[in-house]
A and B are shown apart, each in its own frame.
Chain A
């Protein structure tokens, strides 16, 4: 009936009304069918594309941003971390770990100020980053955390060991807490038959205040008598009075829970005042702080999650590439940040997407299964917190070494 018939208005009108009506109905059904078929085809191709997209899922450029203390009081740690991140990003991008996707890594400097940090965090949540890495200083991380938590932003922390940081399942801290590491130093004192310990600590630093509390609570576990504590602030430059007070407690060992120049000053002053007992310190003392003290710094011991060059193949390779890239020995801060970037990369690969929920889940999975990093093989991140065993470092003749 339709063969070789040109449909035109004229020819349509040739048919009677019943036929016209049937033709209209057929045409309508046909048109609808065509639409449905076309739509179905489109959907099939879309889902095929989607399925294909799901498999790779990662954008060509994966944006990761770090808000760090690159200047100011905590610049020491921020700069060390930056080197670790940069080196990791270079290696991840060149190795093709994420297929054709590349990490676009950017940083902003909060100048070690919590006010600036909060402002940068508010900007970062609008930056559509796959992951934001937060500041090392606890005081800054604590103000950033609620902002990222509210935005369900996947966040990784290096350092920032105080409470009030891991407040959301989207958050992961890729640094073991100092409080968990410090008992290793107390155990060392026990092995050296030390009977008493006093400590000098920064009482305006949440992490170090926490370690001071660990010394107070755990000393007796290791056969030590806790004979006294002296707190100073981060603005204290002259430490002689604090040192004299500490020595008045007549401790067998002194724990120096300070950062930067103050730590070096206390070591220097203790030895100048005739103290010959064991000195244990906090991990930040390993960042070249003792370099100018000569022989008086020999024998200072501190717990650390990593000491160059480490013991595993991954660790030794990292230490060598770091030395080659920057001309200085890597510290545990750089090792931690390097591992954290690889942790992120493994999670991105597993998730196959930068969708925050899926990425969060992937990070949880990677952390629970464990991954091989610089710090050790099988690094685990449980409930957002990295677990790593402590090693002991000792300062000998101008450099840090693994204490055997």
Chain B
């Protein structure tokens, strides 16, 4: 059973990574705490459900994943182009912009949930009329399916790719510049709108992929599933350090480990409380998270 719980934590951590990385990137670079991120995760899976329930086609996993990624990316791109950028442009200062985009993202998330609740009437939904099955491997008491392995590989691959991109690519450097000092980076010729669009596209794509994968692995999601996971993603980001790619990975796995351990050893109601307790302890020692850097605000 212990090995089984390790395997569970490993997969859960990967799920948290997929959801948290987009949140971390937006918050760390653009000061956008996008609370529509959880609903976007759910909505991407919902669109897959909507398509398959109307066409009655069994789409393969690759196609479902593609739909989820595209839907997620487009929604967050739209949110940025229409709402977040407008707010940033019209706000008196960065602090006001941050608060206003936070509130706007909550509203946008509520709209997505309301849309999903219409056809589903609040019921659980699946992304495919027939379940997508995979081979399950029994390894020393742990059951790991090919889908579980795929999620872990996908999440780790995404983190590594993102880290390399941020570190070595031209756009990645631009992203880091904007994160460090958006005002000066603008003066240096960096197109902030382009950077923000790329960031939100990636963020939405990762949320969309996470939504479809989780719907397939769990068998079903509900319109409120995204909001439940958003809190966990938020906690992982804060724990690891806002804006830090590797920090998000570490934070996600610490949270997954804590949640799994508590669920396995105590009454389930402590599953939310104890991991957040760990976060409080970490933040008391390192307020910027494990790998976060202190922000320097210019007057």
Contacts and interface: CB of A to CB of B under 8 A. Distances in A.
Nearest to B134: A272
Interface residues of A, number: 46
A14 to B, nearest CB: 91
Contacts of A169: none
A72 B264 CA distance: 29
A238 interface: yes
B123 A272 contact: no
Contact of A261 (B130, B143, B220, B231): B220
Contact of B121 (A75, A237, A264): A75
Contacts of A291: 126
A72 B120 CA distance: 11
Interface in B193-250: 214, 218-222, 224-225, 228-229, 231
A231 B267 contact: yes
Given A75-B117, A76-B122, A233-B269, A241 B225 contact: no
Given A72-B224, A248-B1, A237 B218 contact: yes
Contacts, number: 140
A321 B154 CA distance: 49
A101 interface: no
B15 interface: yes
B121 A76 contact: yes
A264 B122 contact: no
Given A235-B228, A237-B214, A261 B221 contact: yes
Interface stretch (B3-11, B276-284, B285-293): B3-11
A269 B8 CA distance: 11
Contact of B5 (A231, A232, A244, A261): A244
Contacts of B129: 292
B131 interface: yes
Nearest to A201: B268
B263 interface: yes
Contacts of B218: 237-239, 261, 264-265, 268-269
Does more than half of chain A's interface fall in helix, strand or loop, or is it mixed? helix
Contacts of A240: 8, 11-12
A71 B11 CA distance: 31
B260 interface: yes
Interface string A274-294: 100000000000011101111
A267 interface: yes
Interface in B106-131: 114, 117, 121-131
Interface centre among B123, B129, B138, B264 (most CB of A within 10 A): B123
Contacts of A72: 122, 224
B228 A237 contact: yes
Contacts of B143: 272-274
A292 B145 CA distance: 18
B271 interface: yes
Contacts of A341: none
Contacts of B124: 260-261, 263-264, 288-289
Interface string A215-252: 00000000000000011110111111110110110000
A135 to B, nearest CB: 13
Interface centre among A80, A238, A288, A289 (most CB of B within 10 A): A238
A76 B224 CA distance: 12
A232 B271 contact: yes
A242 B268 contact: yes
Contacts of A289: 123-124, 220
Nearest to A287: B123
Interface residues of B, number: 46
Interface centre among A80, A203, A237, A293 (most CB of B within 10 A): A237
Contacts of A314: none
B11 A233 contact: no
Given A237-B214, A261-B218, A261-B225, A288 B123 contact: yes
A267 B272 contact: no
A73 interface: yes
Contacts of B121: 75-76, 79-80
B294 interface: no
A237 to B, nearest CB: 5
Given A75-B122, A274-B143, A287-B123, A261 B8 contact: no
A292 B8 contact: no
A190 interface: no
A287 B121 CA distance: 11
B6 to A, nearest CB: 10
B220 A245 contact: no
B136 interface: yes
B43 to A, nearest CB: 15
A74 interface: yes
A113 interface: no
B219 to A, nearest CB: 3
Contact of B9 (A230, A241, A293): A241
Contacts of A71: 114, 117, 122
B131 A245 contact: no
B31 interface: no
B34 interface: no
Given A239-B218, A245-B263, A264-B124, A294 B131 contact: yes
Nearest to B263: A241
A235 B272 contact: yes
Given A75-B121, A79-B122, A236-B228, A245 B264 contact: yes
A242 B263 contact: yes
A260 B219 CA distance: 11
Contacts of B222: 260-261
A204 B269 contact: yes
14 contacts: A78-B122, A231-B267, A235-B231, A236-B263, A244-B1, A260-B222, A263-B124, A264-B218, A265-B219, A272-B145, A273-B143, A288-B123, A292-B130, A293-B126
Interface of A: 71-76, 78-80, 203-204, 230-233, 235-242, 244-245, 247-248, 260-261, 263-265, 267-269, 272-274, 287-289, 291-294, 296
Interface of B: 1, 4-5, 8-9, 11-12, 15, 114, 117, 121-131, 133, 136, 138, 143, 145, 214, 218-222, 224-225, 228-229, 231, 259-260, 263-264, 267-269, 271-272
Given A204-B269, A268-B219, 7 more contacts: A76-B122, A230-B263, A236-B228, A244-B264, A261-B220, A261-B222, A289-B124
